[in-house]
Structure 1
Amino acid sequence: MTRVGATTGRPPEVLCLGESMAALLPGTPGPVKTVDTFHLAFGGAESDVACALAGLGVPSAWISRVSDDGLGRRLRSEIASRGVDVSAVATDRLRHTGLYVKETGATGRPHSYRSGSAASALGPELLDDPAFRRLLRGARVLHLSGITPGLSDSCLALVRALFTVRRPDLLISFDLNWRPALWSHRDPAVLPELLDRADLLLLGADEAAAAFGTGDPAELRRLLPSPGTIVVKHADHHVTALDRDGTAVTEQAPHVETVEPAGLGEGFVAGYLAATLRGLDRRARLRLGHLAAAREMVGRPAAAPVRMSG
């Protein structure tokens, strides 16, 4: 039987590189100190895109590092179970897998424990890894995000090095994914340089305003002139795609009752990439992005409960 969302053994067309984390989601509202049961889940911007692509029938691979423990093995297994190739995920025997603890309520805030994680040890030596080189040879898209260069100096060096492997038939996609906490002790001035080297750039107007001082599509195009296409997602759920030749297309998302917004952005990216690989026109790419984002809201697997004691 073919697993739902499986890639049926075809070589990955899209490589998604970045950190995934274990996540503890509260079973009841309130601060962490009052919650007895948490649900164990796993995710990361890039691996979520890979999983959503697999669900759309696009062969995908996730590339990263995980710890040599139960969380690392479970994380790799969970992503593989969604039909994603994990053959180039390395096991780190010295470092931990990052952990994210969500807190709900009026004063709730996320707690991230990713400093010194296995994925933060990724570096330019990945380009010499036989498993990575094998996947790269057949890939049509390499998908990155602004999270990775914020993890460590070696991760920043890796992202810069990845732009040297470009070839005419390889599209480099880059999602800003602005995380202020990651850049609190690092220089975000490196981001425009990286984003401007991408072929396809995706970013939210709100996060662009926080990172660069503007979320206006025309201003962003002037700031970042090189990408073939810049896709700007707006808070009112319409998206604008601006090509380098000046062509602009805007598409409104269909109304969807959103209970949990996590995954919307990655679903959109997956849909847009799938439509691009299928050769659909500009407007159809935006439409499939919207539809894939909505699909992610109803297709996520349930998390496993974890009871906290003591």
Structure 2
Amino acid sequence: MSSGGSAHSSRDIRGDERSHSGGNRGGAPRVVTVGETMALMRTSVNGSLAHLPTVDVALGGAESNLAIGLCRLGVPSAWVSRVGDDPLGTRVVREIRGEGVDVHCAIDPQRPTGLMVKSRPTAATTRVDYYRSGSAASALAPMDLPDGLIENAELLHVSGLTSLLSPDAHLTVVTAVKRAVAAGVKVSLDVNFRSRLGTRERLATLLGDVLEHVDVLFGGPEELSILAPDAEEAVPRTLLHALARKGREAVVKLGPDGAAALTDGQLHEAPGHVVDVVDTVGAGDAFVAGYLSARLDGLAVPQRLARANACGALACTTPGDWEGAPRLRELDALLSGRGGDPVSR
């Protein structure tokens, strides 16, 4: 495949030669994100897939998780991707559109929709297996980026996941970032390292192509250390100081310990929340959605961190990658202390 994209044609779910399926109920997209969403097979009970008789069908992907989370928080968002010409691809597009996301998704007649299988071998462990090699989204190409979509947004969000899918997918990320910069659109990056897709060294090289243009940077300590190998990983403050620059916000996600952000030389820290954890997958995407929504709402950094931590915590209380992404009223209940009674009357 050439770096300019796949040679075959693509269509959308309705059979058109281009790929757009609108669904945004909140107006023109303020945020655009690009990346793969997979069909998700997940177990509803604990145990090995070698023995369990049934699985549930859902979907999951970091970028669509983010877009859904933003829409639920009142920020119109768009998602750009590719899926296969198969029932799972149809389901992916339908579900994401149904959440109000503006969907721009090419339907690839030659490649399948990627698949993720999530199980809980024990009550304390989660196993995630990916079947995404040669998937439709691995053929993402710059031609899949609609004209004017990025230029008319306020923020472009990308992640390391997409760059690791394939050379063409990485070129799509680089092209999207260049278009955003040329149009004066802010760029957000979540490192989102997945060891099954590539090495830390490979990701560092790829993200080096866009890092200088990033205005808001997210990652856990291990992820941020990929971009700052000389910093001490165990000290989040050191990582933030190594990666922050004038005009850039560097944010470290610390899970139950909360989060910290460094911007304009000032360090901000916020504690996490104690919740009954059901499923942690997708919590990081909910965190980023909370932070970016607060940023777009004009809130100060401490309030951005508070909203992000609350979003991440609430996402952990529900099974699924995005189903627990909260709405503003649910956030208000948690942040105000009114969420103590689990029964709605």
Q: TM-score, normalised by structure 1?
A: 0.86
| 1:117-142 deviation digits (Å, cap 9, x = unpaired) | 01110123334xxxx22322321111
Compared with structure 1, are the counterparts of its residues 275 and 168 closer, same or farther at alpha carbon in structure 2 (3 Å cutoff)? farther
Q: How many Å separate the matches in 2 of 1:293 and 1:42?
A: 18
Tell me whether 1:64 sits opposite 2:64 in the alignment: no
User: 4+ runs of 1 displaced by more than 6 Å?
Assistant: none
Q: Distance in 2 between matches of 1:208 and 1:301?
A: 27
Of the two structures, which has the highest relative contact order with CA contacts closer than 8 Å and spacing of 6 or more?
1
Alpha-carbon separation, structure 2, partners of 1:235 and 1:54? 23
Post-superposition Cα deviations, 1:181-210, rounded to whole Å, max 9, x if no partner, equal 100598233145133431100001133347
Q: 1:296 aligns with which of 311, 315, 336?
A: 315
Partner deviation per Cα, 1:167-189 (whole Å, 9 max, x = no partner): 46411100011101100598233
Instruction: Give the drift of 1:224.
Output: 3.0
What is the distance in 2 between the residues matched to 1:152 and 1:77?
25
Partner amino acid, structure 1, of 2:108: D
Match of 2:155 in 1: 141
Q: Specify the code of the residue in structure 2 equivalent to 1:58.
A: V
Task: Give the CA RMSD over aligned residues.
Answer: 2.4
Q: Which residue, 174, 180, 183 being the options, matches 2:189?
A: 174
Distance 1:234 1:108, change over 3 A: closer
Partner of 1:308: none
Q: Distance in 1 between matches of 2:99 and 2:248?
A: 31
Which residue identity is paired with 2:119?
E
| Residues matched between the structures, number | 291
Give yes or no for the alignment of 1:41 onto 2:58. yes
Q: Are the structure 2 counterparts of residues 247 and 81 from structure 1 closer, same or farther at C-alpha, using a change threshold of 3 Å?
A: same
Determine the structure 1 residue equivalent to 2:129. 111
Distance 2:224 2:150 in 1: 30
Instruction: Indicate if the aligned counterparts of 2:204 and 2:226 stay in contact, CA closer than 8 A.
Output: no
SS in 1 for 2:116: strand
Segments of 5+ residues of structure 1 without an aligned counterpart are 1-5, 303-310
| Equivalence for 2:139 | 121
Equivalent of residue 237 in structure 1, options 257, 265, 287 = 257
| Displacement of 1:223 | 4.2
C-alpha separation in 2, matches of 1:179 and 1:211: 14
Match of 2:169 among 142, 155, 160: 155
Percent sequence identity is 37
Indicate whether 1:188 and 2:203 are aligned: yes
The CA distance in 2 between the partners of 1:301 and 1:270, in whole Å, is 13
Partners of 2:240 and 2:251 within 8 A in 1: no
